[in-house]
Structure 1
Amino acid sequence: MDRVHLWALLVVGVALLFFSLRTPPIKDKILVFLLKAYFSTFFGIIVVEAKLLEYPVRFLGPYFKASILFEYFLYPIVCVYFYQTSYHSRLPGIIIQCALYAAALTAVEVLYEKYTDLIEYHRWTWMHSFVTIFVLSFSVRMLMKLIHKREQAAR
């Protein structure tokens, strides 16, 4: 049943990616996606190698200990939506939206940890997930804000 969940998440991710890239600025969205995948992979590998959590059932299990579906695909897609919804927001709005996205992702993760074998906490808690997701999402969002400022100054 856990493999069915993985395939369902993959299908949902593909649909979300398709819809997220239908509107401009596509260049920004692709950059957000790639930055998020890069940073989440870096931290994901550290967390898994430190045995803070594990993914007993995962795509390409013999080759990856981390959840490549989450770190390379689903989390970056969610960050693209976060970027889209906070594009015109000021700092307080960005922080609130970031907390809401982090809370939603953390809630889903906790449910998967409790009811499936897709994730298993060892020395990890939902609070670690929330803070990590919040900090990574906020960092990429602020990096994109800096890129836009530099781009505007160059014009």
Structure 2
Amino acid sequence: MRNKLEMNILKALFIISLGLFINLLRKPPIKDWLLVFFLKSYFATFIDNLLVRKGFLKYPVNLISGFDISVLFSYLLFPISCVYFNQITKTSSVFDIVKKCLYFSVPSAIAEHFLERKTKLINYKKSWNSYYSFLSIAFSFLIVRALMGMIRSLSKTQ
């Protein structure tokens, strides 16, 4: 019965993420947003794999079996949220970027904390906790945003 709840949560999140993905592609420049999406997917996959292999995180229930990481989180939810973050910070100052990063990373960390406590979708192991999740989420948003800032700057000079 418990796994059914988790699978229903994952299916609902998958449907929501597909709708959000289609919506984010409607705002130009689409190439920037796809680049953010793929950069974030790559970054999230790398970090998630590292944390799972080192024993800090475990995903007992997954939408697609055979993966140690959360495919839904690493390949859809996290990259989509990063695209929206980049869209709203495209012309922001550094202070506003950091402030808006909190608008995305705090709810993400709270949601992950809730899922870790109330479901079997994610388990924290060793010394991992919600604070480290928050820091890793915020840091990854800022890293991808900085990379996109550099890419935009370089493309203007070419």
Give the structure 1 partner of residue 96 of structure 2. 93
Kindly indicate whether residue 67 of structure 2 is the aligned counterpart of residue 74 of structure 1: no
- Identity among equivalent positions (%) equals 37
Any idea what SS the aligned residue of 1:134 has? helix
- Letter of the 2:74 partner, please give it: E
Which of 112, 122, 125 aligns to 2:125? It is 122
Any gaps of 5 or more consecutive residues in structure 1?
none
- Letter of the 1:56 partner, please give it: P
Please give the root-mean-square deviation of Cα atoms over the aligned residues, in Å.
0.8
The CA distance in 2 between the partners of 1:145 and 1:53, in whole Å, is: 31
Which of 25, 28, 39 aligns to 2:29? It is 25
Any gaps of 5 or more consecutive residues in structure 2?
none
Runs of 4+, deviation exceeding 4 Å: none
Tell me the TM-score normalised to structure 1 length.
0.96
Tell me the TM-score normalised to structure 2 length.
0.94
Asked if structure 1 preserves the Cα contact closer than 8 Å seen for 2:33 and 2:83, the reply is yes
The CA distance in 2 between the partners of 1:119 and 1:29, in whole Å, is: 28
Kindly indicate whether residue 20 of structure 2 is the aligned counterpart of residue 12 of structure 1: no
Count of residue pairs the alignment pairs up? 153
Which of 43, 55, 59 aligns to 1:55? It is 59
Q: Displacement, 1:107?
A: 0.6
Asked if structure 1 preserves the Cα contact closer than 8 Å seen for 2:11 and 2:63, the reply is no
The CA distance in 1 between the partners of 2:125 and 2:152, in whole Å, is: 40
